[in-house]
Amino acid sequence: MFRLPLHWQIIIGLILGLAYGITSAAMGWGQFTSDWIVPFGDIFLNLLKLIAVPLVLGSLITGVASLSDMHKLSRIGGKTITIYIATTAVSVTIGLILVNILQPGANVPQELQQELQAAYQAETENRQSTADAVKERGPLQVFVDMVPGNIFAAAGNNSNMLQVVFFSILFGIAMIMIPKEKAQPLLGFFEGLTEAIIKIVEIIMLAAPIGVFALIAKTINQVAKDDLSAVVELLSALGFYCLVVVLGLLLHAVITYPLLLKSFTKLPLVKFFKDIAPAQLLAFSSSSSGATLPVTMDVCENRIGVSDEVSSFVLPLGATINMDGTALYQAVAAVFIAQALGIGLDVTAQLQIILTAVLASIGTAAVPGAGIIMLVIILETVGVPTAGIALILGVDRILDMCRTAVNVTGDTTVATAVAASEGQLHSPFEEA
């Protein structure tokens, strides 16, 4: 029986969700949509979040425990982190160059600024206080946060993924060090757990078109709140800014990633992007690279041919620390706000933005809307009033969708490159 490829099914779900969402906002069906459509999106997203922690635990422990030597682990780890940081720095630079050349903030009318600041005052204060809590931490706090005091508490919260990654690596290393006959039953257990979870991912993905439809309808419902004209107005006022962010993201996706893939692999680019499309589309619809992780791992292992060993290490780490899209957006947003408020940023300030955006993106949680909280910290570093985020809050959700899709693309690209460099990319193109 003919079945439409998964990415087409999801694209259709996405387009229909978009059409439905716009109709619903135009016709004032907001209540009906939240009662009868939104729950399907929530169920779908919860199912994905449900398996994220056991998947990371199972696959990472199995991945590390089946490595026979520690050298390999540190080699793969070093390579992964270096490429992650390098690609993020490139993406911030692309964003900075564009925003400085195109100057989207240069002509934002005074009245519009006042209007936006009044409209988003409460939300701005909210983000600011969350950012204040983040800021009061010392320079080594990132490392403290990585080490959980209680593994069950860590596994009880999806935003503690890095702690789960830490525990799994430690546990895997310990399994290499204990006698084989003791480690074997544990290894069998975790292998079985991982297999079962991957089967669950396949089952959940059967519902992806419906899930994506509902998620998109939900987003439009939240943003438009039965008043479509307000969104259109906001988009036309901030359209140029959005365009610069989207252009930067696109350039990064069609130049940096293909260059990286070409230098490490023989994979045809079209095939690569087709294979990862379900993960990109899901990231776009959910605005969460954490929730997309099970699908990211699935496409990398089963479509692209990245070995379990590499994907189970590189991808959970990437979902938590590698956010090229977020970093690019943060750089553009920071300079846009400075331009709109008439504040000049010299070369030192721009270099500071590169550094803080790379660090802030590492510290950004893989959940919707996290990027704008860390943006507050960047603004403070370069001396731009943080109340300025009111200017961009209205369109943030839309940009969140785009940057999350790029974040996930970055993770899959690096996983593929690292796998190829280790001779662990099992693809007919690579072996040809």
Instruction: For residue 371, state whether it binds ligand ASP (rule: CB under 6 A).
Output: yes
Q: What is the CA radius of gyration of the chain?
A: 22
- Under rule CB under 6 A, residue 287 binds ligand ASP: yes
Using CB under 6 A, which of 80, 219, 288, 386 touches ligand ASP? 288
Which of 400, 410, 414, 430 binds ligand ASP (CB under 6 A)? It is: 400
CB of 408 to ligand ASP, least distance (A): 7
CA distances (Å), 109 to each of 103, 106, 121, 366, 367, in order?
A: 14, 9, 18, 34, 32
User: Is residue 425 classed as helix, strand or coil in its secondary structure?
Assistant: strand
CA–CA distance, 230 with 365 (Å, rounded to integer):
29
Stretch that binds ligand ASP, among 118-126, 254-262, 281-289, 338-346 (CB under 6 A): 281-289
| Minimum CB distance to ligand ASP, residue 317 (Å) | 14
Number of chain positions touching ligand ASP (CB under 6 A) = 16
- Considering beta carbons, is residue 400 or 430 the nearer one to ligand ASP? 400
Nearer to ligand ASP, 267 or 373 (CB): 373
Q: Largest Cα–Cα distance in the chain?
A: 73
3-state secondary structure of 367: coil
Q: How far is the CB of 366 from ligand ASP (least distance, A)?
A: 4
The interface region with ligand ASP, picked from 104-112, 152-160, 196-204, 402-410 by CB under 6 A, is: 402-410
Per-residue mark of binding to ligand ASP, 54-93 (x: CB under 6 A): ----------------------------------------
If we measure between CA atoms, which residue out of 326, 367, 335 comes closest to residue 353?
335
Residue 29's alpha-carbon distances to 26, 213, 224, 227, 235, in angstroms, are 8, 16, 11, 11, 22
Alpha carbons within 13 angstroms on the beta-carbon side of residue 111 total 1
Alpha-helix runs per DSSP H in 364-422: 370-381, 390-393, 396-421
The total number of residues written for the chain in this structure: 432
Q: What is the SS3 assignment for 306? A: strand
Handedness of CA 417, 422, 424, 429 (dihedral sign): positive
Site string for ligand ASP, 305-344 (x = CB under 6 A): ------------------x--x------------------
Binding ligand ASP (rule: CB under 6 A), the pick from 220, 223, 367, 389 is: 367
Residues 328 and 410: beta-carbon distance below 8 Å: no
Examine residue 289 and tell whether it contacts ligand ASP (CB under 6 A): yes
Least distance CB 297 / ligand ASP (angstroms): 15
- C-beta of 370 vs 425, nearer to ligand ASP: 370
The answer to whether residues 319 and 288 touch, using CB atoms and an 8 Å cutoff, is no
Q: What does the binding site for ligand ASP look like in residue numbers (CB under 6 A)?
A: 287-289, 323, 326, 364, 366-371, 400, 403-404, 407
